[in-house]
Amino acid sequence: MRLSSAARAVLFVLALLAGSSAARADEGAVTLIIFKAGWFFGGSAGTGVMTFHGKTYGLSAGGIDYGLVFGGSQTTLNGRVRNIRRAEDIAGVYAAAGAGVALGAGVRGILLTNQNGAILELSGKQVGLIANLDLSGLAITLKQ
């Protein structure tokens, strides 16, 4: 089957437009400090910053945990957010299943995605006494 020149030109322009939106996606640096505590049900709250295109944005985070959660911890995470086009794309709900134990100090790494397609790749240090095997949700909002 042969395509006419006009059909090929239209397909080329559509492919170019589709590719250009992905090419505009960018990344930023993120630091979050999260406090987590629970006894079966748990919760987390925290603050942080994102640096994106030379500007610094304040972040707030909070969430719930359900499963086996015992104890409390503070986690400082550093990394990046990828696949964002504007600062507001980091805002949203991130879901994860996790397991871990921290007795004193430990390390933690997470990879999460929200409904905007933003991908968080974070790692850092966890301090506290906590054991968890849970499902958790973390909502991140951009402070204005």
pLDDT digits (tens, 9 = 90+) for 76-105: 999 999 999 999 999 999 987 666 677 777
Distance CA 49, CA 40 (A): 30
Bigger pLDDT: 56 vs 16? 56
CB of 85 closer than 8 Å to CB of 24: yes
- Per-residue pLDDT, 21: 46
**What CATH number belongs to 26-142?**
2.40.128
Distance CA 61, CA 69 (A): 19
- Per-residue pLDDT, 117: 92
Give 17's pLDDT tier (boundaries 50, 70, 90). Answer: very low
Which residue, chain included where needed, has tokens 């086996």? 68
Strand order in the sheet with 119-142: 26-52, 55-84, 119-142, 92-113
- Per-residue pLDDT, 56: 97
Give the tokens for residue 96: 């994860």
The mean predicted confidence, pLDDT, of the chain is: 83
Q: In the chain, pLDDT over 70 holds for what percent of residues?
A: 79
CB of 42 closer than 8 Å to CB of 88: no
pTM of the model: 0.76
Distance CA 97, CA 66 (A): 10
pLDDT digits (tens, 9 = 90+) for 33-55: 999 998 888 899 999 999 999 99
CB of 125 closer than 8 Å to CB of 79: no
